[in-house]
Structure 1
């Protein structure tokens, strides 16, 4: 008889799968992609390794599925907005980062691991495509139809800001976000010479 926990207990199969995806994110955030094992996920979720294997045929399947959960969670809870949110204030960005630190670290670990594991590159490409599309959508919604390359430039600046938050959660991105908004405003309304 396998262990159960309040996390996975007697939940519907889809809820159990979500709990295992979340546990995988936590394991990768804490131990890196190479620390992702059925045993580590089972321990984090409070279930047997068989329960994890029942839902995921391979660790790569678990990794891809966990990224799906991350993107869905980010979209539903406004984390995509915080990540791409050039229009958010620094305190809000820091708060949201703190609330989603494992998700952020999971993503960066996935990016770094894709450097040596080619099979992860399509997963990482999906991640970047999602964020780049969200930035372009944010800019367009603010009435700043971005010229080619601007959404990517803004995303790269914001991505660096979030990477800095990983290294120093106390860093205040407020002044940088203000400056970025000022540059975007100037680009949207150039002064005639």
Structure 2
């Protein structure tokens, strides 16, 4: 028997490879050839599974969202309810995923056809934050989910620029503000 991979394995390898290539070289660095090389397959395999580079990007985002959900990277638990050192560790373990997402967001400002993909990304994260905040009894106030998400998103973006940055004090302050808002809402 040969060591041929099943089609689903090849597709998954190509999704991971696309994330790696985009994180390392940017969206414009993602080609059939670069994805094939990173995945260890032929360019024909890329063309077989994906009709275009944008199709590969969208599919890779699907993989990213699955991975993020499985690894607790969606929602507030990855940030606000974690210690600063845990955030740095999670970022280090998922830096390609984080960088891929930021590059996709930036590229969508230039390419309107990517905006629905990015909207889906944000919907997933906002939904995760809303669920996590509700699970800890955070106050229900308009804009709170957005505020917490924006704080967490900024924290992860800062980790891209400086993986050694310690968000611990900011997370403590955010938790204290949420606690105070919850106490004020209950009076």
Query: Could you say which TM-score interval applies, normalised by the shorter chain?
Result: over 0.9
Distance change in 2, residues 1:93/1:172 (3 Å): same
CA contact (8 A) 2:15 2:56 kept: yes
Counterpart residue number, 1:133? 127
What stretches of structure 1 move > 4 A for 4+ residues in a row? Answer: 81-84
CA contact (8 A) 1:90 1:173 kept: yes
Aligned CA-pair RMSD: 1.8
Superposed displacement of residue 17, structure 1:
0.5
TM-score, scaled to structure 1: 0.91
- The unaligned stretches of length 5 or more in structure 1 are none
Residues 113-141 of structure 1 deviation map (CA, whole Å, 9 limit, x = unaligned)? 00100000000010011101111111000
How many residues in Structure 1 have an aligned counterpart in Structure 2?
Answer: 186
Residues 2-32 of structure 1 deviation map (CA, whole Å, 9 limit, x = unaligned)? xx9xxxx522211111110000000000111
RCO (CA 8 Å, sep 6+): is it higher in 1 or 2? 2
Distance change in 2, residues 1:191/1:141 (3 Å): closer
Residues 51-86 of structure 1 deviation map (CA, whole Å, 9 limit, x = unaligned)? 111110111110000000000011012222577531
1:188 to 153, 160, 182: 182
- The unaligned stretches of length 5 or more in structure 2 are none
1 CA distance for matches of 2:17 and 2:85?
28
Distance change in 2, residues 1:109/1:83 (3 Å): farther
TM-score, scaled to structure 2: 0.94
2 CA distance for matches of 1:180 and 1:54?
47
